[in-house]
Chains A and B, each alone.
Chain A
């Protein structure tokens, strides 16, 4: 394919077969097929003998079912129906963010304290709807799986799908946001009343603090402020190292054992988003394996050009109108030619977009995955995608 001529091809089998690769993160804009790519990579690695767990965030129902994920129970479950001859294993799980958050609380607080936190209305709101909880919990779960893989020797490869964020960058930013929030001045401010005789430096702000607290209680209502304070005080005692945990998971992503795979569709917006993400990974020093341009249109009748097909279609249309004895299939053949021309046009446009994208990202390995005729929701379909990924 033309794009491949100038750009290195992403060597999927090399990546998955390298025992040093322990984490593969699939990221990209919404609707580009991240989950399918993640599941296909996991399956291909397992069939090549790796012991794999796939963490999915929001799979399509039928895809989830085909992976045996009929329930969302936040625990990896074995997938059946794949080829185990190479000795690999495959588990899959679907993230339940509320449950993951609850587990964090339960694991790090005394039972009474945990009960107190879980019952706090502010906690309930934060754990189910705080902007970024899903991203943070995906990160948290990844940290947990990685720790378990190391301590129990259960898996040697973790494939992560990222949440359908408003922007692919949210996945990287949300944990930092939560970390800086819990570490931030405002939180200490909120806790000041809870810690009688608080820290000396707070006194510097004391007039601002009094004003801010009074504004907060005016705006939010006193009860909310009290709930927040209770929540934060409880968190403070249990998450001594909350910031460190977030930092540690973040650091894991910079480790060479991690490989980011950016997924994009051959469309302007998705490719733009992919470019942002690539730049960001570069800034953060995070290891990018390459880019998957997913669902690219291919033509089967490669030797017939678009213009030739259109010209022939016109000619058939004319002779059909003029002839007394037209061929029975002339109309159909004309349709085939027009269909081919339309597919070829789409293919050319997508190829041009992919090429322009590649030119803007010199040296980044790319692989194109042809569009499948129907949606992918079984092991066989995932295997075909995996094959296409490896074939480049």
Chain B
């Protein structure tokens, strides 16, 4: 453990995005678990109704009620929430307008359908609104520590990079449409939270061209939208299996290489054939190309001026055990 404080020590709302297919749900889950392992009470929220959390942790489907899915021996707790946009609208109407019955009327005339599927950005407003509510909720009731925040940290598995800025910035758009009124007030306070130093937007990438390009674009867009940038997390890092000398020898297609490799294989009692040796060398050449491409892409990410963390490729996929490996990697690298 390093003595230096983590760059994200003051962050309470971690927003995780990334291009589709980079594993942002996995990274969000690992980050939330790492925070819980520190003894914190953590909420992991998803907003796209994909049940990614339930699949990642191999637990029953998560609903709109916050459900505890992990209890660490050290006292940390991980809660999960899959935000349901209808429920959020009803809660919203009840909380701000005490409109229990009106909610039913709205449902009847189709206004709820309108608000939750069609109305521009309203869906996003409600989804973020719920996360905002959970992040700001105070612990109520009997406890002597009444008044403290209910969650020490909230991790949001956000929409992918292509849509995340519009999603997070929806409240600014609402401000354009709703110039006055209670929605405007709510929108403004959410914007304040999202732009504050207690929020960080982390971007997940792979060492491939498109995800890296999208990461760079997303960072730029986030910056323009005044959203606080967090770290870049490189997922599925595969350590090169050939040392740099080996890579160089294969890359240079050194003379006599296949004869020498054939002799080595024979000494290890492999029944070789010319095709097998050629195959091994072809695999290695492809590997050399891939490593070069990955180094190129990594260099682009390192130029972005953000903290960069690396998560190993898990050949077995991310079942609950795999998530712990990734959570440990984030903790060891001091992300939180």
**Chain A positions near chain B (C-beta within 8 angstroms):** 29-32, 58, 60-62, 121-122, 125-126, 128-132, 164, 166-167, 177-178, 181, 184-187, 189, 205, 208-209, 211-212, 215-216, 218-224, 227, 265, 267-270, 299-304, 308, 311-313, 315-316, 319, 327-340, 342-343, 345-346, 349, 373-375, 377
B178 engages A340 (CB within 8 Å):
no
Selected contact of B241 from candidates A121, A216, A338, CB within 8 Å: A338
Give 22 CB contacts A-B under 8 Å.
Answer: A30-B19, A31-B21, A125-B121, A129-B121, A131-B117, A132-B117, A187-B114, A212-B109, A221-B178, A221-B181, A269-B55, A270-B21, A300-B282, A304-B270, A304-B276, A312-B270, A329-B264, A331-B243, A332-B242, A332-B249, A333-B265, A374-B293
Nearest opposing residue in chain A for B238, CB measure: A342
Complex Cα distance A271/B34, Å? Answer: 29
B210 engages A212 (CB within 8 Å):
no
Given contacts A164-B160, A316-B268, A332-B249, contact A302 B109 (CB under 8 A): no
Nearest opposing residue in chain A for B85, CB measure: A131
Complex Cα distance A216/B19, Å? Answer: 36
A308 engages B113 (CB within 8 Å):
no
Chain A neighbourhood of B282, CB < 8 A: 300-301
Chain A neighbourhood of B181, CB < 8 A: 218-222, 224
Chain A neighbourhood of B111, CB < 8 A: 186, 189, 212, 215-216
Chain B neighbourhood of A268, CB < 8 A: 317
A60 engages B118 (CB within 8 Å):
no
Which segment, of B1-9, B97-105, B144-152, B194-202, faces chain A? B97-105
Chain B contact patch, size range: 35 or more
A373 engages B183 (CB within 8 Å):
no
Q: Mark B109-126, 1 if CB is under 8 A from A, else 0.
A: 111011001111101100
Within the complex, the shortest CB–CB distance from A277 to chain B, in Å, comes to: 14
Within the complex, the shortest CB–CB distance from A353 to chain B, in Å, comes to: 9
Given contacts A31-B19, A212-B106, A312-B269, contact A218 B97 (CB under 8 A): yes
A62 engages B279 (CB within 8 Å):
no
Chain A neighbourhood of B121, CB < 8 A: 125, 129-130
B65 adjacent to chain A (CB < 8 Å): no
Complex Cα distance A222/B182, Å? Answer: 11
Chain B neighbourhood of A227, CB < 8 A: 177
Given contacts A215-B102, A343-B283, A346-B315, contact A185 B178 (CB under 8 A): no
B284 engages A212 (CB within 8 Å):
no
B159 engages A166 (CB within 8 Å):
yes
Nearest opposing residue in chain B for A217, CB measure: B181
Which segment, of B68-76, B220-228, B255-263, B324-332, faces chain A? B255-263
B105 engages A212 (CB within 8 Å):
yes
Chain A neighbourhood of B50, CB < 8 A: 166-167
- Name the 8 nearest CB pairs between A and B, nearest first: A31-B21, A30-B20, A301-B279, A221-B181, A125-B120, A186-B110, A300-B279, A333-B264
B117 engages A316 (CB within 8 Å):
no
B213 adjacent to chain A (CB < 8 Å): yes
Within the complex, the shortest CB–CB distance from A120 to chain B, in Å, comes to: 11
Given contacts A339-B241, A375-B208, contact A61 B108 (CB under 8 A): no
B109 engages A185 (CB within 8 Å):
yes
Nearest opposing residue in chain A for B290, CB measure: A373
Chain A neighbourhood of B64, CB < 8 A: none
B303 adjacent to chain A (CB < 8 Å): no
Given contacts A220-B181, A304-B280, contact A129 B267 (CB under 8 A): no
B210 engages A374 (CB within 8 Å):
no
Given contacts A181-B117, A312-B265, A316-B264, contact A221 B180 (CB under 8 A): yes
Chain B neighbourhood of A30, CB < 8 A: 19-21, 160
Nearest opposing residue in chain A for B270, CB measure: A312
A178, A269, A330 interface centre (most CB from chain B within 10 Å): A269
Within the complex, the shortest CB–CB distance from B222 to chain A, in Å, comes to: 17
B310 adjacent to chain A (CB < 8 Å): no
Chain A neighbourhood of B268, CB < 8 A: 311-313, 315-316, 319, 333, 337
Given contacts A167-B50, A304-B270, A329-B264, contact A121 B118 (CB under 8 A): no
Nearest opposing residue in chain B for A353, CB measure: B317
Given contacts A29-B20, A219-B183, A327-B260, contact A211 B105 (CB under 8 A): yes
B120 engages A122 (CB within 8 Å):
yes
Complex Cα distance A301/B260, Å? Answer: 17
Chain B neighbourhood of A319, CB < 8 A: 267-268
A130, A300, A303, A315 interface centre (most CB from chain B within 10 Å): A300
A215 engages B162 (CB within 8 Å):
no
Given contacts A58-B162, A177-B118, A211-B105, contact A335 B93 (CB under 8 A): no
A177, A212, A316, A346 interface centre (most CB from chain B within 10 Å): A212
B179 engages A223 (CB within 8 Å):
yes
A221 engages B183 (CB within 8 Å):
yes
B133 adjacent to chain A (CB < 8 Å): no
A32 engages B293 (CB within 8 Å):
no
A131, A328, A336 interface centre (most CB from chain B within 10 Å): A336
Complex Cα distance A263/B113, Å? Answer: 31
Complex Cα distance A349/B21, Å? Answer: 18
